Amino acid sequence: KNEVEQSPQNLTAQEGEFITINCSYSVGISALHWLQQHPGGGIVSLFMLSSGKKKHGRLIATINIQEKHSSLHITASHPRDSAVYICAPFQGAQKLVFGQGTRLTINP
Amino acid sequence: SAVISQKPSRDICQRGTSLTIQCQVDSQVTMMFWYRQQPGQSLTLIATANQGSEATYESGFVIDKFPISRPNLTFSTLTVSNMSPEDSSIYLCSGCRVGSTEAFFGQGTRLTVV
């Protein structure tokens, strides 16, 4: 079993739809990152969570430490949101463990 | 926060040659890491780059294949040596500071070996 499981692996939606990406992990963590990877490979950290919920624009991230589960939501999705979204909890010694990513495609 | 400039962004290399990837940070970071992402796979840690000493490699990765330098707290290089087509991947550096869970990432290097 992978230490980090994301679902779905691929998601295609229409512009304007509400998007949810889920992440379950088995490693013990102090915090978790949600990352966005662009086609060239570059990565941007969207959120760093250690508890509760964070919101940034149309993006919302939640985490339940006890259940070892986190979700990323996108409201009013737009084609420019198309990217790979990666869940990455800290394993310890500030090392990140990465999920396989969710490839999101938003059609106009 | 910190910004990491990684280069080259992409390269196509002949098998048997070596490529050095650079990451320059605009401020000091305590720790730097190098990752590999093979096609269709998740990011995997190659090694932790230690300032002024030898890098710490993860299982399955060796210094002869992936020599790493970290001469100071703002710069690191990864060399992919004696390349084969199996080395075709995205290589990514990241940095963070001790005591902080904030992480910074380079733009990635997409390597194709022919």
Q: pLDDT value at position A1?
A: 57
Backbone angles phi, psi at B106, to 5 degrees: -75, 180
Pick from A3, A75, A76, A74: which is nearest to A34 by CA? A74
pLDDT tens series, chain B, 114 aa: 789 999 999 999 999 999 999 999 999 988 899 999 998 888 999 999 988 889 999 999 999 999 999 999 999 999 999 999 999 999 999 998 877 778 889 989 999 999
CB contact (8 A) between residue B92 and residue A43: yes
Contacts of B103 in chain A (CB under 8 A): 33, 45, 48, 88, 94, 96
> B10, B105, B110: best mutation site toward chain A, by most A Cβ within 10 Å?
B105
Is-contact A70 A85, C-beta < 8 A? no
- The pLDDT tens digits for A34-82 are 999 987 777 888 988 988 999 999 999 999 988 999 999 999 999 999 9
> A36, A94, A96, A97: best mutation site toward chain B, by most B Cβ within 10 Å?
A94
C-alpha span between B21 and A33 (Å, rounded): 25
Task: Give the gap in angstroms from C-alpha A59 to the nearest C-alpha of chain B.
Answer: 18
Cα separation values, B10 from A11, A93, B6, B87, Å: 27, 30, 10, 13
B26 sits in the region (left: phi over 0; alpha: psi -120 to 50; else beta) called alpha
Residue type, position A59, single letter: L
Contacts of A50 in chain B (CB under 8 A): 101
Chain B residue with the nearest C-alpha to that of A94: B101
A75: DSSP letter? S
